Amino acid sequence: MDIRTTDLGAVARDVLARRGIDPTIAPPPAPFNLADHLTDQANATLDLILPPRFRHAEPDVPEVRQWIGRYLADPKTCPGLLLLGPVGTGKSHQAFGALRRVALECAKRCRRITYAVTSHPEFNAAMRPQPDDRHLRALEDFQTVDLLVFDDLGAGKSSDWTEDTLYRLVDTRWARQLPTITTTNLDAGSLRANADERVVSRLSTNVQVALKGTDRRREEGQQ
C-alpha cells in the first residue's frame, strides 16, 4: 500500500463500519468522577500553597498519623495538633505532610474542605494594618478555613498588636472547633514563658507531639 496515495480517512471509516461503529457519532463522554475531580483540585491547591521542599511530604510519626485518623473520622471533635521540638527535627515536614494527607484523603472521600498555610512571621506581616483593610480579610480567612497550618510559632516578633491578632486567631478557631496544626521550636515550658497565657491555654487542648533528635538539615549538609 502506498501511503502517499491512500485515503486514510476512507480506510478508517471502512474499519469502523466493519466493527459496527458509526464514525459520525461522537463517543459518549467519560462519566464524571467527583472523587477524581476533587483530588485533582487538591493536588493543584497543595502545589500552590506548600513550599516546594514539602510538596511530597508524608507524615511518618505514629502520633501524627493517629491524629490524621481522628481528623478524618470527625473534624468537629478532633483537637488541634501541636508539634514541639528543637530546630531541624522535622516538625514542618510532619505538619505539611499531615495537611497533604488530610486534603487528599478528604478528596478521595468526596469531602470538600478548605485549608491554608502560614508561619508566625508571615502571619505578622499579613496583619500589618492596611488602608483597604485587607489585613482584616486575611485574618478572617485564617480564622475560618477548615484546617490551618501555623508554622514556627514563637518566631514572629512580638508587640501588643501581633499578640492581639494571634490571640484572636487562636481563640476564634478554638471556639469554632476548627483544628490547627501548629509547630514551634519552643518546649512546653518556654512556650508558657514566651506566649500569651490565653494562647497557651487554648493550645493545651491540642494533641501534643514532641519531636526529638539532632538537626536533620545539618546532617544532610554534611553528607
Q: What is the pTM of this model?
A: 0.83
Q: How many CA atoms lie within 13 A of 112 on its CB side?
A: 3
Q: What is the mean pLDDT of the chain?
A: 89
Residues 162/217/100/74 CA torsion (nearest 10 deg): -70
For the stretch 90-128, pLDDT in tens is: 999 999 999 999 999 999 999 999 999 999 999 999 999
What pLDDT is attached to residue 216? 58
Indicate the pLDDT class of residue 2, thresholds 50, 70 and 90.
Answer: very low
CA-wise closest residue to 111 among 33, 32, 31, 38: 38
pLDDT score recorded for residue 8: 56
DSSP letter for 5, please.
Answer: T
C-alpha cell at 9: 480517512
**CATH superfamily membership of 32-211:** P-loop containing nucleotide triphosphate hydrolases (3.40.50.300)
- Model confidence over 132-171: pLDDT tens digits? 999 999 999 999 999 999 999 999 888 899 999 999 999 9
pLDDT in tens, 167-193: 999 999 999 999 999 999 988 788 888
Chain segment 22-38, per-residue pLDDT in tens: 767 766 777 889 999 99
Q: Where are the domains of the chain?
A: 32-211
**CB 41: neighbour CB atoms within 10 A?**
13
